[in-house]
Amino acid sequence: MSGLPPLLPLVSDADAPPEVAAVYADIRATRGGDFINNFWRVLANDPALLARTWADLKAVMGKGSLDPLTKELVYIAVSVTNGCTYCINSHTASARAKGMTDAMLAELIGVVGMANETNRLVTGLQVPVDEEFLAR
């Protein structure tokens, strides 16, 4: 562990009540590995929050009309814009596991930087929306 301690303790496998143990088991089965990262171990202090968050993430991040790697890139983009250090570290690890190369990461961050810049140029000059964009 690095940095400051969490606000609630990490729930180990030994301390996990049945509802938590069930989620841990499903994380392991879904990911095909034993590792449970700290995010889930802290959420486990509130078993309902843990179960809901894991079910949602599994539903959202799976294959749909967008592929899982694209979703990880989007997740990183949001996490960078929000400045969430943990999330950047965990989702770049996930994205790499799904095929993101160093070149893709650098290019992604370049897009994120550019989007943040033009978002502020637009807002700073109060650019009005073109009627052309409103014809859905």
Q: Is 39 in the site for its own copies (CB under 8 A)?
A: yes
Among 6, 13, 30, 97, binds its own copies (CB under 8 A): 6
Tell me which of 21, 22, 26, 45 binds its own copies, using CB under 8 A.
45
Name the one range near its own copies by CB under 8 A: 12-20, 24-32, 46-54: 46-54
CA distance 122 to 125: 6
Neighbours of 11 (CB within 10 A): 21
Tokens 């400045």 locate to 83
| Count of chain residues binding its own copies (CB under 8 A) | 86
Query: What H or E segment, with its residue span, contains residue 117?
Result: helix 102-125
97 binds its own copies (CB under 8 A): no
- Residue 43 as a binder of its own copies (CB under 8 A): the answer is yes
For the chain, the C-alpha Rg in angstroms (whole number) is 19
